[in-house]
Amino acid sequence: MSRVAGNERGRPCRRRKRSVSESMKSMALKPPGRIVIEADVAHSPLVETLRRNLPHAGVSVVDRVQEKAVHDPDVLEVVRFRGRFLKSCPGTRQYNCCGYRILHFGLQCSLDCTYCILQAYLNQPNLRLFGNTDDLFEELAAEIDTHPGQLYRIGTGEFTDSLLLDPWTGFSRPTVRFFASRANAVLELKTKTDYIGNLRDLDHRGHTIVAWSLNAESVRWREETKSATLRQRFDAARTCAELGYALAFHFDPMLEFPRWKEEYGETLARLFDAVDPARVVWISLGAFRFMPELKSSIRSRHPDSRITCGEFIPGLDGKMRYFRDIRVEMYSFMVDRIRAFDPELCTYLCMEGNDIWRDAFGFTPAERGGLGAMLDRAVLQRMKVGATF
């Protein structure tokens, strides 16, 4: 595999060796102070773990948790989920979709990023976990094992952060172990935290990707104030690489501002100074887009944010998007920089059409077999998973 080892200033990358046991200063969110549990799942393994790890939290057991409860940032709800745990990514036919599958294990996020779509997308205000995890793994096994010839790319970070509550739930442990036992599936844990403690001593067998959402430094401290710093995320990624995990990174949403080229270029330089590009399975890019109804939520909940004040136009999916030339410039810049570090690294656009792809990449996904096929090949080539597919 050919690779350019250098940063955007042409200097060689300096990757300082660190041991897995090297301590990191972790972000520290306040743990839940009160747990409201539905009686149907009061004795589930997840609840038992929460009781053990949150001994000082007040616990209430109820018949059913209210669907329209008043928002309380101190509350964690644990309910029996009665729907399908495995869902398709909510893409639209107007744009290229990657065929990603979502493992639905909870709702909401307390990181409170200004741009978060969950503010307008969900009507349940509190953090919520699904306590019937036995049903979750049973459904997951039935789907994956019934189609042994299909490669599944499955993630948990769509409706909540994959690792936000992991210090107390430990949910990553049985999930990683499950995927380690399936030859035709890989798990992606997507996070803005550095809560990787439960991943340290697992036999993941190369079937788990640990992924971070990244942004420009000024965006991080203005719009993602409760999340881990970029340095904490890079330190966590370096540690996960040392533990043998594959990595992925998502620059989504990218925001346009006067120094965006300098800052996004610096983030890429820091990223590849921290980790070897060969450990990265894919990088996604997505410019800021939002449902029109999200604008009022952002202005109400985050009055100091100016992210909705740019030049936007309705897209084919009804979401407000930056003008086409802005998006093309941003994507082209990032693609060129990433290719300088590793020209073979799978980089893709999240929810964009063929015209944008051709201008930014010089090809469309269909010319490479489709976006899903591109990501499947990245799994096969970089993770050495599912060699029979």
Query: Quick one: pLDDT at residue 7?
Result: 36
Q: What mean pLDDT comes out for the span 57-62?
A: 96
Cβ-Cβ contacts under 8 Å for 46 (sequence gap 6 or more): 78, 129, 131, 133, 169, 171
Decide if 2 is inside a domain: no
Of all residues in the chain, what percent carry a pLDDT higher than 70? 89
Predicted local confidence at residue 94, as pLDDT: 67
Distance CA 193, CA 229 (A): 8
**Residue 224: what pLDDT?**
97
Residue 64 lies in a domain: no
CB atoms within 10 A of CB 183: 15
Q: How far apart, in whole angstroms, are the C-alpha atoms of residue 247 and residue 277?
A: 9
Evaluate if residue 219 carries a pLDDT over 60: yes
How sure is the predictor about 97, in pLDDT bands with cuts at 50, 70 and 90?
Answer: confident
* Local confidence band at 185 (pLDDT 50, 70, 90 cut-offs): very high
For residues 8 and 64, the model is more confident at 64
Q: Is residue 283 part of a domain?
A: yes
- Tokens representing 60 are 């209430």
Element (H, E) at 208: strand 208-213
Other beta carbons within 10 Å of 53: 14
pLDDT of residue 88: 85
Q: Residue range 370-377: average pLDDT?
A: 95
Residue type for position 360:
A
* Cα-only R_g, the chain: 20
Instruction: Give the single-character DSSP code of 322.
Output: E
Instruction: Give the model's pLDDT for residue 122.
Output: 66
C-alpha distances in angstroms, 196 versus 243, 252, 284, 368?
11, 21, 21, 34
* Residue 137 domain-assigned (yes or no): yes
Residue 10 pLDDT > 60: no
Question: What was the pLDDT predicted at 117?
Answer: 87
For the stretch 348-372, pLDDT in tens is: 999 899 999 999 999 999 999 999 9
Q: What are the pLDDT digits (tens) for 139-161?
A: 999 999 999 999 999 999 889 99
pLDDT for 25 equals: 63
Domain limits for position 210: 83-382
In the numeric block, the tokens 């209210």 are attached to 66
Instruction: Look at residue 223 and give its three-state secondary structure.
Output: helix
Residue with tokens 């996604």: 284
239 in a structural domain: yes
Which one, of 186, 234, 200, 195, lies nearest residue 214 by Cα?
234
Annotate 124-151 with DSSP letters as a single string: --SEEEES-HHHHHHHHHHHHHH-TTS-
**Per-residue pLDDT for 121 more than 70?**
no
Mean pLDDT lowest for which of 38-47, 218-227, 376-385?
376-385
pTM summary value: 0.91
DSSP 44: S
61 in any annotated domain: no
Q: How confident is the model at residue 321 (pLDDT cuts 50, 70, 90)?
A: very high
Give 39's Cβ-side CA count (13 Å radius): 3
Report yes or no on 288 lying in a domain: yes
User: Half-sphere exposure of residue 66, counting CA atoms within 13 Å on the CB side?
Assistant: 9
Looking at the structure of the chain, the number of domains it has is 1
- Lowest mean pLDDT segment, chosen from 23-37, 203-217, 273-287, 307-321: 23-37
pLDDT(98) > 80: no
CATH classification at residue 375: 3.80.30.30
Least confident of 66-70, 134-138, 196-200, 298-302: 66-70
- pLDDT at residue number 192: 98
Establish if 301 belongs to a structural domain: yes
Cis peptide, bond prior to residue 167, ω within 30 of zero: no
